[in-house]
Structure 1
Amino acid sequence: MARILIVDDAKFMRMTLANILKKANHEVIGEAENGQEAIELYIQLKPDVVTLDITMPVMSGLEAVKEIKLHDPDAKIIMCSAMGQQKMVVEAIEAGALDFIVKPFDESRVMEAIQRVLQ
């Protein structure tokens, strides 16, 4: 069981992801709406995994990855992106994200990504 921080500016997306994760017995220990909140919660909660939306107000997921990796080089981050954001996904992976999932979320793909980063 992993302790997971979900970051997305859309409440519906956070809810959808939380439901998938809880069904697989993972614990959602926090939710954030933007990259700035993500960093603060990451430092405070020290989650096992972070799911991070790429496009958000205040601070993008891309900036947040870099910032989180400065605090914790071992952070396990999975990017969430809409179709057509491949270029940003590549940048995020170069910045230290370990995997990515595409919206709308496919349950088996989400679980596969979580399993992979926890190994």
Structure 2
Amino acid sequence: VNIRIANALGISPATLKRYFRADMKERDAMRDRLDARRFEIALEQANAGNVTALRELGAMIDRNDRMTIEASMGKGSDQPAASKDKVGKKMIDEQRAHAADADLMAELESEAAAQNARH
């Protein structure tokens, strides 16, 4: 994302970080607040029995889990790969297992929602 912003401004990512660090942190905080509010609304609607909201909540959780895993594995970051700590096989296996569990839960929820819709 930072690379796209830097390109739009016509500056390098390093310059963006140097002169706009506070603005970038504020942007990240605002994005987190927006995502939290979206989760809250989806959860309220899902608890009220809205099946579409339940599916969307599951998809949101899956996306969040994937972003967390990618961030911990170093994907999607603007930092060069050489400056990051190497992730071990056990950590990768644990992250993959967590992602698989989240995928399975989403699949089970969608099947349950589909079955409830038929009844």
TM-score (norm 2): 0.23
Asked which structure has the greater CA Rg, the reply is 2
TM-score (norm 1): 0.23
Higher strand proportion, which one? Answer: 1
Higher helix proportion, which one? Answer: 2
